[in-house]
A and B are shown apart, each in its own frame.
Chain A
Amino acid sequence: MLKQLGAAFGAALIVAGATMANAAGTISGAGATFPAPVYAKWAEMYKAQSGVSLNYQAIGSGGGIKQINASTVDFGASDKPLKPDDLAAGGLAMFPTVIGGVVPVMNLPGVKPGAIKLTGPQIADIYRGVIKKWNDPLLAKTNPGMTLPALPITVVHRSDGSGTTFLFTTYLTMKAAHWASDVGANDAVSWPTGLGGKGNDGVAAFVKQTPGAIGYVEYAYAKQNGMTYAQLQNKAGKFVSPTAENFAAAAAGAKWASAPGFYLLLLDQAAPNAWPITGATFILVHTKQAKPADGREVLAFFDWAYKNGDAAAGQLDYVPLPPAVKDLIRKSWSKIVGPDGKPIYR
């Protein structure tokens, strides 16, 4: 038996040794879960064209920030933008890549997708446990002529920390003073009521299994699963549906040029068709690159993606950035430098 153990160990070492010879130069990134599908798509297309492998892994926004600070990856990714002070403290540069939205979904027998209209304060009251039934007079106000069932409302939220929760709770904080004082905004909060599902899928499953439930998921998830969603009232006072056009409207109206370090939330934008819970997702890189060659590959990849990736992003239900914003980002790359102090890209 010892001999067999030794043989197994030896074989494993030989395999390990053999793999040493095969050192492929790849660039790596990790972080937010939300953009992982589109980064995977871009990486696949980019590899076919350039031969460079860019390995992006979804470990969560918090993980992305930690890993780029620990320099275990070439770039980090986060749904939650870092404030300019935090960027400066970590020696990081940040730029957005694509835009998406968070959608309230529900299980209301007999109610069609988009038929129910909600406002931010109403959602806050539902998630605080103040509005307990669907036939509450407060909900009837925005839904005249609709008979909403007398079902009790079951609140479903994300159990895992998530950029989706960050956008959702930040939106509620902006719209409802009670929410801001009692709960607040973060990628995980202390929920006043309800139950937590793991991931978008967990939330969707609980919503589907519980008549009268309300939850919130990423747009791609609501769309691919044909879930019943609500129209939301935006800052302009209009009730809008969650569509790619309405996310783009929110992004187009935002003042990127005056946002230092691209720190910008696209929530509750003033544009007439803007979907109120819209957000960009961000890339983090070191401003001083210890390995300029790898850093250059990262920037080259995103430059390529801005030029060639819009169609692929659209197919996966992400919204590309407006061209003007892309130009701003490219300009901002001049501050990303190598050990010699010179910009590493272009």
Chain B
Amino acid sequence: MTDAALSSAAGSRRASPRGAAVAKVFEGLCFAAATALLAALGGLIVSLVIGGWPALKQFGFGFLTSAEWNPVTDVYGAAGPVVGTLVTSTLALVIALPIAGGVAFFLTELCPAPLRRPIGTAVELLAGIPSIVYGMWGLFVFAPLFSKYVQLPLMMAATPGSLLEKLTVGIPNGSGILSASIILAIMILPFMAATLRELLLTVPPGVRESAYGLGATTAEVVTSVTLPYVRTGAIGAVMLGLGRALGETMAVTFIIGNSHGFPKSMFDSGSTIASTIANEFTEATSPVHASALIALGLVLFVITFAVLGLARLLLRTPGARL
């Protein structure tokens, strides 16, 4: 539509009551769409509470503090998977965020023009690979290499009694908490990098160019001009990544080692909430077991609520919109 067409369309509708009606309907539709998602989450949480209630009633607060998860005696405590979820997601975010930022800055500020599109598309492609492929790649390709070139040397280098030794206790076969975190990081990286890049591209060229014109270096343009400009969206991108890390099932399940206790080191096996649900839900025949798994899902939602709430508090600056 050209500008002329636009203005004529606008002109013809200016005074017509039909135009006003269309506007009302449109706003109503937008409102309905926003409300639909709210209702979906409400329904989701209600169904989780109903499903998880028997287990929560039976174990009470101990459900959160106990690390005993025993399907034989039907006793369930969520502490192990909760800790595993927090540790792996945090580690994944710590690993992926700088990389995603670096990739996005590289693509917007440094990359030679002919390479921008291919690399950008390649990063998006990484987001399109089914998560089970990440899991299998992690198990069959990454784990043996990780064991040989990272785990074994680190374990050899650790002096008895040192912190490093405590962190590296485990079976050197490539599985465990750290491996799972790295696979998660690789999985959430393209999401964050692609979104960040898209956001940085929305910075008006004039803003950026004037900063360069003032003699700012690339690092300064990024840290004091473009990044602050897209701050809110950038937080959204991080949340996208964190969200996927928290809820990822298949890839983690393959490589985390799946034990329900507290992980004792970076190479120890652990479990996450999502991997526990994925592992056991299909075979859970006892009602308490199934209920405990759904209650785990509820706990994951509570964690998500808490993380998002915290992010909001931290970012409550004038004009911030998160």
Size range of the chain B interface in the assembly: 20 to 34
What are the residues of chain B within 8 A of A288 when measuring CB–CB?
A: none
List the one stretch of B83-91, B122-130, B167-175, B226-234 in contact with chain A: B167-175
Bin chain A's interface residue count.
20 to 34
Q: Are A188 and B257 in contact (CB under 8 A)?
A: no
Query: Which of A61, A161, A209 has a CB less than 8 Å from the CB of B279?
Result: A161
- Inter-subunit contact A185/B72 (CB<8 Å): yes
**Which B residues are in CB contact (< 8 Å) with A190?**
68-73, 260
Check if A196 sits within 8 Å of B139, measured CB to CB.
no
Are A191's CB and B72's CB within 8 A? no
Return A153 CB to nearest CB of chain B, in Å. Answer: 11
Taking a contact as CB atoms closer than 8 A, the residue among B73, B174, B257, B271 that contacts A209 in the complex is B174
Given A161-B71, A205-B139, A187-B283 contact (CB < 8 Å): yes
CB <8 Å contact, B283 and A210: no
Contact of A62 among B171, B260, B282 (CB under 8 A): B282
- B269 in contact with A184 (CB, 8 Å): no
Q: Which residues of A contact B281 (CB under 8 A)?
A: 62
Q: In the bound complex, do residue B72 and residue A62 qualify as a contact, i.e. CB atoms below 8 Å apart?
A: no
Query: When A61-B285, A206-B175 are in contact, do A196 and B71 touch as well, CB less than 8 Å?
Result: no
User: Which B residues, 162 to 199, have Cβ-Cβ distances below 8 Å to chain A?
Assistant: 171, 173-175
Q: In the complex the two chains form, what is the Cα distance from A162 to B257 in whole Å?
A: 16
- B282 x A209 contact (CB < 8 A): no
Q: Which residue of B lies closest to A65 (CB)?
A: B285
The verdict on A160 contacting B71 (CB below 8 Å), with A198-B258, A209-B173 known, is: no
Tell whether B253 is near chain A: CB-to-CB under 8 Å: yes
Query: Which residues of chain B in 263-322 are interfacial with respect to chain A, using CB atoms and an 8 Å cutoff?
Result: 269, 271, 275, 278-285, 290
Given the complex of chains A and B, what is the CA–CA distance between A154 and B135 in angstroms? 22
Minimum CB–CB distance from B137 to chain A (whole Å) comes to: 12
- Distance (whole angstroms) from the CB of A65 to the closest CB of chain B: 6
Collect the chain B residues with CB atoms within 8 Å of residue A185's CB: 72
Interchain CB contact (< 8 A) of A186 among B72, B139, B271, B282: B72
A65-B285, A209-B144, A209-B173 given; A198·B279 CB < 8 A = yes
A27 at interface by CB-CB < 8 Å: no
Given A62, A184, A195, which contacts B283 in the complex, CB threshold below 8 Å?
Answer: A62
Q: Is B147 an interface residue (CB 8 A)?
A: yes
* Cα–Cα distance between A63 and B253 once the two chains are bound (Å): 19
Residues A196 and B269 in contact in the complex (CB < 8 Å), given A162-B283, A191-B259, A209-B143: yes
Near B by CB (< 8 A), chain A positions 167-224 give 183-191, 194-198, 202, 205-206, 209-210, 213
With both chains docked as a complex, state the minimum distance between the C-beta of B287 and any C-beta of chain A, in angstroms: 10
Given contacts A195-B171, A196-B257, A209-B174, contact A161 B280 (CB under 8 A): yes
How many angstroms from the CA of A197 to the CA of B143 in the assembled complex? 13
- Chain B neighbourhood of A80, CB < 8 A: 285
> Separation in Å of the A263 CB from the closest CB of chain B?
15
Closest approach, in angstroms, between the C-beta of A199 and any C-beta of chain B? 9
Residues of B within 8 A of A159 (CB): 253, 257-258, 271, 275, 279
- Flag whether B140 is at the interface (Cβ < 8 A): yes
Query: Does the CB pair A59–B279 fall under 8 Å?
Result: no
For A206, the chain B residues whose CB sits under 8 A away are 173, 175
Tell me the smallest distance from the CB of B155 to a CB of chain A, in Å: 13
Complex CA–CA separation, A60 to B277 (angstroms): 13
Point out the residues of chain B lying under 8 angstroms from A194, CB to CB: 259
Q: How far is the CA of A189 from the CA of B271 in the complex (A)?
A: 14
CA distance A213 to B172 in the complex (A): 12
- Greatest chain B CB density within 10 A among A62, A190, A198, A213 is at A198
Task: Give the CA-CA distance A196 to B71 in the complex, in Å.
Answer: 15
Structural contact, A59 and B282, CB atoms closer than 8 A? yes
Name B250's closest neighbour in chain A (CB-CB).
Answer: A198
Which residue of the partner chain A has the closest CB to B170?
A195
Q: Are B282 and A154 in contact (CB under 8 A)?
A: no
Q: Which residues of A contact B173 (CB under 8 A)?
A: 154, 206, 209-210, 213
Q: Could you tell me if B259 and A196 are in contact, using CB atoms closer than 8 angstroms?
A: yes
Residue of B nearest to A194 (CB): B259
Instruction: A159-B257, A188-B283 are known; give 19 further A-B pairs, CB within 8 A.
Output: A60-B283, A61-B283, A62-B284, A159-B258, A160-B253, A160-B282, A161-B283, A187-B71, A188-B71, A189-B70, A190-B68, A190-B69, A190-B73, A195-B171, A195-B259, A196-B257, A196-B258, A202-B253, A209-B147
The 5 A-B pairs with the shortest beta carbon distances in the complex, nearest first, are A161-B283, A60-B282, A159-B258, A196-B258, A184-B72
21 chain-A/chain-B pairs, Cβ below 8 angstroms? A61-B283, A160-B279, A161-B71, A161-B280, A161-B284, A162-B283, A184-B72, A186-B72, A187-B71, A187-B283, A187-B285, A189-B70, A190-B260, A196-B257, A196-B258, A197-B254, A197-B258, A198-B253, A202-B253, A205-B140, A209-B173
